[in-house]
Structure 1
Amino acid sequence: MRVLGSDAVQDPSKVEAYVRAQMESRKRAHEAANAARKLTKEQARYKRIKKIREDTSHAVHVAVYRVKDFSNPSHRFKVETNANQLLMTGLVALHNDCNVVVVEGGPKQQRKFQRLMLCRIKWREGKRGMVSNTSGSFAHDDRAVTSELDNDAGCRLIWKGTVKQRAFDKIQFKACPTELYAREQFRKRDVEHYWDLAYSGAILESLDN
């Protein structure tokens, strides 16, 4: 400090240049350290995938859901987006009042996806016929619809378990005009029993109602 003080008296510009050089040096060192710590986009993507991906070489966890109404586009978006983000594979067969969702993955992935299907998505939102009046309350005709919907779980977990290998290589939505066409989509992958289980349950449920 004394040297700088002496130099400041003799040559102020010299001291200023010295201080600026020191500050610039520290700035470059700081930026270099940050750059070394910062992951590239590809490295960040790999790290994110590594965190999500689970080892399914020994067993693949499978879950089968049945959704009564899949007409709300936001519900489809949430299911597809979350399945892709969780790196899950499977098939969503869209057929009238029996929409079957089959997803494959690891146990952690399945837990997160199950929470989405059974808790986070409000399946009754946007259902056909469920319209409120301008006051925000349901009119007389709406109450009958609401009463009927109250008996509907919206989404049911039909089965979950493990298999030796995946039947699908990605998540896919398939519009199925007939029950036979829907079943065929699963039969192509030798997993038609997933459809049979869900569809038979829907038939029994309709008979009970």
Structure 2
Amino acid sequence: MAILKFRVYFEEDDSIYRDIAIRHKQFFLDLHQAILKAYEFDSKHAATFYRSNDNWQRGKEISLEKYDKSYVVEPLLMESTTIGSEIFDPNQKFIYQYDFNRNWTFLVELINVSKEENPKIEYPAVVRTEGIAPSQYGTKGLVGDKLAEMEEKYDLQTGAEGFGTEGEGEDEESDSFGAEDESSEEEF
């Protein structure tokens, strides 16, 4: 069974992406749920995929459900459309749109096809994560695990190699500056 690896870019910043491996016989609904999980989004909103070309133009729609809007061509449904049935190019692209009010858009690109299935992985699976995902409902702080990841990645620990102690312990100079500041305040 073929394993397809897709790179799912956050449209506004292509340095933020998730790589998702999925079987070609799985459905777009599975890919939709994997993307939401990878970006830590809930599944409360409408969503659709569009088959795309190299210029990221929207083509055939593969929708979560048939929405109350006019369609030029009836959309395919995620729950009944296998991913492999919509792959026509070795670099096949899709546009994934989630929550039509907030208009979250992700660019989905096929980056690898493999015949080897890893028995240790439950598909679909996020196999690579780059960048901090945007927050679905506002700002997201760097706390807990995310901060630990940043510290590890960028070596932000105190006293890390390459950071000197220059400027520490020079209190005498700062005291004299403090005295000057006080006297100049009295003159005014």
Shared fold (TM-score greater than 0.5)? no
**TM-score bucket (shorter structure):** under 0.3
By percentage of residues, which structure has more helix?
1
* TM-score when normalising by structure 1: 0.21
Greater Cα radius of gyration, structure 1 or 2: 1
By percentage of residues, which structure has more strand?
2
* TM-score when normalising by structure 2: 0.22
